[in-house]
Amino acid sequence: MNGTSDNILLNTTFTLKNFKKVLFDDEFVELLLTTFYYTFFGTVGSIIFGILTAQMVNQKFYGRTFMRSVLLFPYVAPVVALAYTWELLLDPNSGTLNSLLINYQVIETPINLLGQKYIEINILGFDFKLRLALTTVIMFEIWRYFPLAFLFILARLQAIPKELYEAADVDGASPFQKFFKITLPQITAVISILFMIRFIWNFNKFEDVFLLTGGASGTRTLPINVYQQGFAISDIGMGSAVSIVIVVLLLLFMFFYFKLLGKRVDEN
């Protein structure tokens, strides 16, 4: 017996079938919203915590150098070890966090923070559904990557002339006024760069989400979908199509982001 077949790697017949399946899939909108939710809040949260931390360690106190070194631990430690530690701490059956909350009568039953998609909370008489597992992953993301923002912002804070704060003290400015009128305008450029870098990195983030939840419980993002399509079910075409969609979305983000920055620079 003999036969012939086309080599798929050398085949020149191209179609947009995989892109059509990706864009018109029922789950695509949910995946896109989940990815943007995770990316935006993870990015903004890490920058906010970076600003707060940089402000604190920029003050003079005993052991400041040691504290700065300790704050870098989440960023330099292996992500596998950190994810495994968080899984142990947040385990609903034997985790430390649930045990403390139950002992202090904050909750009555354990909460599966990494395995429960939604949790209902009541605020001022209004019921809200919080995406629990995704929010937990975002908190891990903020904790792990705020040291990067902390380093950038601390370096910029140390370059601000002290005369500006001395003049503000003479004028009787409050700490909040000094922050919003002096500090924030001085670090705006650094924040803009950090937001762009962290947004791109978070949008492509795979290992953190995969190690914590494997994409279950409403934490399935586009990079997780690439892995599942390309390796879990061996559909290389679909996985490649999702990857190209991610690239196009990031290119659009960078285009509009630089356009916005350009307008702000022209106004200033």
Residue 34 included in any domain: yes
- Tell me what pLDDT residue 173 has: 87
- State residue 217's pLDDT score: 86
Look at residue 239 and tell me if it is in a domain. Answer: yes
Which residues touch 221 (CB under 8 Å, ≥6 apart)? 31, 34, 35, 38, 205, 209, 215
Matching residue, tokens 């077949």: 5
Task: Name the domain count of the chain.
Answer: 1
Does a structural domain hold residue 238? Answer: yes
3-state secondary structure of 228: helix
219 contacts 193 by C-beta, under 8 angstroms: no
Inside any domain, residue 105: no
Query: Cα(129)–Cα(153) distance, rounded to whole angstroms?
Result: 34
CATH number of domain containing 160: 1.10.3720.10
Round to whole Å and give the CA distance between 150 and 55: 9
**Alpha-carbon distance 15 to 19, whole Å?**
9
> Which among 216, 155, 212 is positioned nearest to 189, based on CA atoms?
155
Q: Give the pLDDT of residue 89.
A: 92
Residue 32 near residue 221 (C-beta atoms within 8 A): no
All residue ranges of the chain with pLDDT < 50 are none
**Position 113 in a domain:** no
pLDDT digits (tens, 9 = 90+) for 136-192: 999 999 999 999 999 999 999 998 888 988 899 888 888 889 999 999 999 998 999
By the 8 A CB rule, do 245 and 231 touch?
A: no
Tell me the C-alpha to C-alpha distance, in Å, between residue 11 and each of 6, 15, 94, 100, 243: 7, 11, 54, 60, 21
Residue 180 falls inside a structural domain: yes
Decide: helix, strand or coil at residue 129.
strand
What CA–CA distance (Å, rounded) separates 32 from 212? 20
Q: Is 0.85 surpassed by the pTM of this model?
A: yes
Q: Would the CA dihedral through 132, 97, 93, 105 be positive or negative?
A: negative
Token pair for residue 89? Answer: 């701490």
pLDDT, residue 7, reads 67
Give a yes or no: residue 127 inside a domain: no
- Range of 72's domain? 17-77+141-261
Whether residue 217 contacts residue 117, with contact meaning beta carbons closer than 8 Å, is answered with yes
Amino acid making up residue 30: E
CA pair distance 265, 58, nearest whole angstrom: 28
Q: Can you list the positions of beta strands (E) in 150-252? A: none
- Structural domain includes residue 89: no
Specify the pLDDT at position 230: 85
pLDDT at 266: 55
One-character DSSP codes across 24-57: T-TTHHHHHHHHHHHHHHHHHHHHHHHHHHHHHH
Whole-angstrom distance, CA of residue 228 vs CA of residue 27? 13
